[in-house]
């Protein structure tokens, strides 16, 4: 299994509170991604990173921000959580040598009440 | 942007039968097409992938075919087993432009003993 750790694995919080999810990798891969998974929508890209301090938006980036200060860590922040952000969040990493697959972490189940 | 449509949304087969899942994509620049299997409560795991310069790829009971002209690709599982029961996702990406995956909506495959 790819060396990806997501934390926390589960979180319940209230509307309006800030939330930060962490993705940690031990593979030294350049690319890291955050997806959300909702019933009927599959997985949708939120933000991704192509290097330290290099990030870009995905399909559903509104309400989310990211940061990558070290190769191994990619943080996803919900500045003011809303109930529509209740979801399962997956981090993925990818080697940048050619067409390589993304490997996913175990996910974070986030509930916003 | 890219859009990926996946059919059917649910598929039920008898053990030993074949299963076929089809996906279409909209962006002719897409050049890498992975397939993921996701068991309940688990992370998506890569089962097979194909590059745009290849028409077909096989790995034991699993095969993927790609028709670039028609912009569709399919997953074929032969001699299905109960442990093949899961949700399957297709995806498309331009791997040398960030590798952002656009996923289909998923197919829930049920293999009945």
Minimal-distance CA residue of chain A relative to B44:
A104
Q: Do B32 and A99 touch (CB under 8 A)?
A: yes
* Shortest CA gap A15–chain B (Å): 25
Minimal-distance CA residue of chain A relative to B92:
A101
| pLDDT surpassing 80 at residue A98 | no
SS3 category, A28: coil
Give dist(CA B22, CA B55) in Å, integer.
15
> With contact defined as beta carbons under 8 Å apart, do B109 and B19 qualify?
yes
- Sign, CA dihedral B31-A38-A45-B1, equals positive
Task: Judge whether B31 is closer than 8 Å to chain A, CB to CB.
Answer: yes
Q: Do A45 and B100 touch (CB under 8 A)?
A: yes
Give dist(CA A104, CA A91) in Å, integer.
6
Q: How confident is the model at residue B96 (pLDDT cuts 50, 70, 90)?
A: confident
Q: Which of residues 63-102 of B touch A (CB under 8 A)?
A: 89, 95-96, 98-102
Q: How confident is the model at residue B103 (pLDDT cuts 50, 70, 90)?
A: very high
pLDDT at A2: 66
Reference B67, options B52, B78, B46; nearest CA is B52
The mean pLDDT of B62-68, rounded to a whole number, is: 97
pLDDT at B95: 82
The mean pLDDT of A86-111, rounded to a whole number, is: 93
The mean pLDDT of A18-35, rounded to a whole number, is: 96
* CB pairs < 8 Å spanning A and B: 58
Strands (E), chain B: 4-7, 10-14, 19-25, 32-38, 45-51, 56-59, 62-67, 72-77, 86-92, 102-103, 107-112
Task: Judge whether B104 is closer than 8 Å to chain A, CB to CB.
Answer: yes
| pLDDT surpassing 70 at residue A1 | no
* Shortest CA gap A73–chain B (Å): 18
- Of A46-60, A61-75, A94-108, B75-89, the poorest mean pLDDT is in A94-108
* Shortest CA gap B35–chain A (Å): 9
pLDDT at B29: 92
- Of A23-27, A77-81, B1-5, the poorest mean pLDDT is in B1-5
pLDDT > 70 in chain A, percent? 98
pLDDT at A64: 97
| pLDDT surpassing 90 at residue B22 | yes
More confident residue, A107 or B54: A107
């Amino acid at each position: 299994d790819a060396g990806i750790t997501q934390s926390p694995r589960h979180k319940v919080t209230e509307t309006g509170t800030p939330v930060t999810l962490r993705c940690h990798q031990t593979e030294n891969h350049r690319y890291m991604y955050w997806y959300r998974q909702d019933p009927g929508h599959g997985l949708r890209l939120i933000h991704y990173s192509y290097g330290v301090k290099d990030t870009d938006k995905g399909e559903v980036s509104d309400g989310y921000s990211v940061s990558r200060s070290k190769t191994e860590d990619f943080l996803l922040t919900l500045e003011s959580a809303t109930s529509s952000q209740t979801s399962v969040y997956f981090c993925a990493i990818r080697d940048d040598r050619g067409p390589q697959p993304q490997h996913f972490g175990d996910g974070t189940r986030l509930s916003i009440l | 942007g890219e859009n990926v449509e996946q059919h059917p949304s649910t598929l039920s087969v008898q053990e030993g039968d074949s299963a076929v899942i089809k996906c279409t994509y909209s962006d002719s620049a897409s050049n890498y097409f992975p397939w993921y299997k996701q068991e309940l409560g688990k992370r998506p795991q890569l089962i097979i992938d194909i590059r745009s310069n290849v028409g077909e790829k096989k790995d034991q009971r699993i095969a993927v075919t790609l028709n670039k002209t028609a912009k569709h690709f399919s997953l074929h599982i032969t001699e299905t087993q109960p442990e093949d029961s899961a949700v399957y996702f297709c995806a498309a990406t331009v791997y040398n432009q960030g590798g952002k995956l656009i996923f289909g909506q998923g197919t829930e495959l049920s293999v009945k003993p």
